[in-house]
Amino acid sequence: MSATCRIVFPLYAGVTQLDFTAPHQFFNRMPGAETVVASVGGAEVEADGLVFSRLADLTAIDSCDVLCVPGGFGTTAAMLDEAYMAAIRRLGASARYVTSVCTGSLILAAAGLLKGRRAACHWAWRDLLPLFDVGVDESRVCRDGNVITGGGVTAGLDFALVAGAEIFGEDAARRVQLGLEYAPAPPFDGGRPELAPPHILAQVRTVMDAAVADRRAAALEAAARLKARASAA
């Protein structure tokens, strides 16, 4: 890899900001890293009440060393956005590392970049991965060759260290971890469904279930488009 490592974060409307701001913070401090945050046309992107502007035009980026796709409730529409998905396919095809956080793996899968691989995803949506011939991995961070995927949202922190150690070296990753004082000690041991109290799990599932039908429909449509593209190739 060259002295400079270009890492592209392709944003879209409805992205979860921590999915990309967490790994961006870590990667941005790695030696030789060039982090690029982009969107189709360089348009502003609203995420969780924050507005990200002055973005690069995703369609104009010719290549990257690392493609890092974040997740979010906007994944549903992003999977069916042809301009966005064309950029994901193009950049992912030549990237040395294809990566994601949370439901970003569904976008990579819909782009045909994970076929036959295993990937992590947010626990509420990982059952959609097999629609794209992708194996489900329940780990917080999954590594399958040059594909590195993180589970839900905060897994982006651990993902950044795993990917950072692979790309920039373990010492560099450890220095960034110490510099950012990443020493997690949550007050509640309930960040996974099997650990959460039943009533908390039920409440969170109620929120997630509101989007289940639309996201499954989008995933099925994206899977059909992927199959049609493969048949036409």
Three-state secondary structure call for residue 187: coil
Say how far apart CA 214 and CA 127 lie, in whole Å.
14
Q: Is 102 a catalytic residue?
A: yes
Which of 77, 48, 25, 54 minimizes the C-alpha distance to 181?
25
Catalytic: which of 5, 64, 102, 121?
A: 102
Three-state secondary structure call for residue 129: helix
Say how far apart CA 210 and CA 147 lie, in whole Å.
30
Compute the half-sphere exposure of residue 217: CA atoms within 13 Å on the CB side of its CA. 5
3-state secondary structure 34-100: EEEEEEHHHCCEEECCEEECCCEEHHHCCCCCEEEECCCCCHHHHCCCHHHHHHHHHHHHHCCEEEE
Task: Evaluate whether 104 touches 71 at the Cβ level (below 8 Å).
Answer: yes
Say how far apart CA 171 and CA 189 lie, in whole Å.
29
The neighbour count for residue 111, using CB atoms within 10 Å, is 27
Provide the annotated active-site residues.
102
